[in-house]
A = this chain, B = another copy of it.
Amino acid sequence: MVKINLSPSRELKKIREKIRKGEFQEHTRGVCPNHVPTNVVILPKDLAFDFLKFCAYNPKPFPLLDVTDVGDPMSLTVAPGADLRTDVPKYRVIQKGEVEEPVTNIRDYWRDDFVGFILGCSLGFEKPLLDAGVPLRIRDEGKLAPTYVTNIPCEKSGSLKGNHVVSMRPIPSELVSRTVSVTLQYPLTHGSPMHIGAPKEIGIDLDNPEVGERITLRSNEVPVFWACGATSLQVAKESKPEIMITHDPGCMFITNLRVNALRWSSRQTFRGKFSSI
């Protein structure tokens, strides 16, 4: 009988407590590096089928870790003890495509017809990359991977549409192959890159990120692009649903799952969760 480790580490308990109180409102990179950080999307039930189909159609930006029951802000599967209304450092509420100022909890927004979607995040494969000897310069420099809106539309589902957003990391050219090899082992954290090199081909000007700082590539570096959970923000802007709530970029929902549990895994419930693909 498979049983994966869902007990929160002492570190996780501590930071979750702080986040809940609104005392931690920063980016979560490097916070509890053994725990899986995730994207969160919250939508009314009316849109839940279309969004779930959107995830199925576009699993690279939307690798699904859990869907909560209608009205339930908890996920026993990936984050027992956590509350989706309070345990993200900063949220973005988007009403009819208008992105509001960040808030530190969504208690006042929560509705009985809300469904929560918990989705893998590329920060989850940074530790495996480092462990495999792939340096992440932007991490060393304390920067977030810059994100860009591509010219590549997602496959539509009902009224939901939007172009793919990608995150970029500069990788030394001799390590690009290894970078693909490592990240494809983690399909639930966006998996292998969507695009390597040639940013213009996908409509990207490296000097103008959507979020994050501009990074000057060194001569031996190749820009490597991964599908990004921030695609959901783009979807909200383009599709203008009545309401969508998501995390502020970089301020992820930290789950009880361990990163190692996701290696070669699909969300799978054969007595445990996240068994092998």
Q: Which residues of A contact B (CB under 8 A)?
A: 48-49, 52-53, 55-60, 64, 67, 152, 154-155, 164, 184, 187, 191-192, 194, 227, 264, 266-271, 275-277
Taking a contact as CB atoms under 8 Å apart, the answer to whether A187 and B277 are in contact is yes
Contact of A184 among B52, B194, B264 (CB under 8 A): B264
Residues on B with beta carbons closer than 8 Å to the beta carbon of A57? 67, 267, 269
**In whole angstroms, what is the CA distance A127 to B172 when docked?**
38
Instruction: Sort A-B residue pairs by CB-CB distance and give the 9 closest, nearest first.
Output: A49-B49, A187-B277, A155-B269, A191-B277, A59-B266, A192-B276, A52-B52, A60-B268, A56-B64
Cβ of A125 to closest chain B Cβ, rounded Å: 12
- A180 to chain B: closest residue by CB: B276
Given contact pairs A52-B53, A56-B64, A57-B269, enumerate 10 new A-B contacts (beta carbons under 8 Å).
A52-B56, A56-B67, A57-B67, A59-B266, A59-B267, A60-B275, A152-B271, A154-B269, A184-B277, A187-B277
How many angstroms from the CA of A164 to the CA of B277 in the assembled complex? 16
A60 contacts across to B, CB distance below 8 A = 266, 268-270, 275
Docked-complex contact A270 and B49, CB < 8 angstroms: no
Whether A58 contacts B152 by the Cβ 8 Å rule is no
Judge whether A267 and B56 touch: CB under 8 Å. Answer: yes
Given A276-B191, A277-B192: A270 touches B56 (CB 8 Å cut-off): no
* Contact A266-B49, Cβ < 8 Å, known A64-B56, A276-B184: no
- Cβ of A58: which chain B residues have Cβ within 8 Å of it? 268-269
A187 cross-chain contacts in B, Cβ below 8 A:
187, 266, 277
| In the complex, residue of chain B having the shortest beta-carbon distance to the beta carbon of A271 | B152
Q: From A190, which residue of chain B is reached at the shortest CB distance?
A: B277
CA distance A274 to B154 in the complex (A): 13
Residues of B near A184 (CB, < 8 A) are 264, 276-277
Q: Which of B49, B55, B152 contacts A48 (CB 8 A)?
A: B49
Q: CA A184 – CA B268 in complex, angstroms?
A: 13
Cross-chain pairs A/B with CB under 8 angstroms, 27 sampled: A48-B49, A52-B52, A52-B53, A52-B56, A53-B67, A56-B56, A56-B67, A56-B267, A57-B67, A57-B267, A58-B268, A58-B269, A59-B266, A59-B268, A60-B275, A152-B270, A154-B269, A155-B269, A184-B264, A184-B277, A187-B187, A187-B277, A191-B276, A191-B277, A192-B276, A192-B277, A227-B270
